[in-house]
Amino acid sequence: MLRIALPDFLAGRLKPTEQNHANATYTKIISKEDGKIDWNKTAQEIYNKFRAFYPWPGIWTTWNGKMVKITDCLPSAVVQPGPLPGAVLNGGFIACGGGTSLQINKLQLEGKTETDINSFLNGYKNFVGSSVG
């Protein structure tokens, strides 16, 4: 957008408009806790949170008492009716609210380095069929 707008701004064809301060609002300071995933939300809502909080604080969940940071994901076009939100499905999908699922591409288990989902599933065979949350 800058490549499009900047030349017009520099040429004086775009005039900045001050915001209406009466309509301005404040938000709270973002903390790491804000990145905790609520698996009852739809995959699109969780993905939007991922995009908003990347790279910090990131989004995370827990598994076997350890924090798992999701470092790359996409909402899946495949609807997964049936499993409860937070259920880990085959292929690195996690069931979300509304019958949706989130495709996990990369993650980082607490105390470990970031890895792709296939390597993680090879190392943690009990991940599929478990529940996160």
Residue 16 — left, alpha, or beta (φ > 0 → left; ψ -120 to 50 → alpha)? beta
pLDDT at 80: 64
CATH number at residue 47: 3.10.25.10
- Identify the bridge partners of residue 7 per DSSP, sorted by sequence position: none
- Residue pair 132/86 in contact by the 8 Å Cβ criterion: yes
Phi, psi of 35 (to 5 degrees): -85, -5
Residue 99 located in a structural domain? yes
- Tell me: the pLDDT tens digits for 35-70? 999 999 999 999 999 999 999 999 999 999 999 999
- Residue pair 132/94 in contact by the 8 Å Cβ criterion: yes
- Residue pair 80/100 in contact by the 8 Å Cβ criterion: yes
Residue 6 located in a structural domain? no
Task: State how far the Cα of 57 lies from the Cα of 101, in Å rounded to an integer.
Answer: 22
How many domains does the chain contain in total?
1
Residue 80 located in a structural domain? yes
Residue 17 located in a structural domain? no
Q: Which domain does 102 fall in, by range?
A: 30-123
Q: Identify which of 33, 80, 81 has the alpha carbon closest to the alpha carbon of residue 61.
A: 33
pLDDT at 2: 87
Q: Which helix (H) or strand (E) holds 74?
A: strand 66-75
pTM of the model: 0.82
Residue 92 located in a structural domain? yes
- Tell me: the pLDDT tens digits for 78-122? 776 788 999 999 999 999 999 999 999 999 999 999 999 999 999
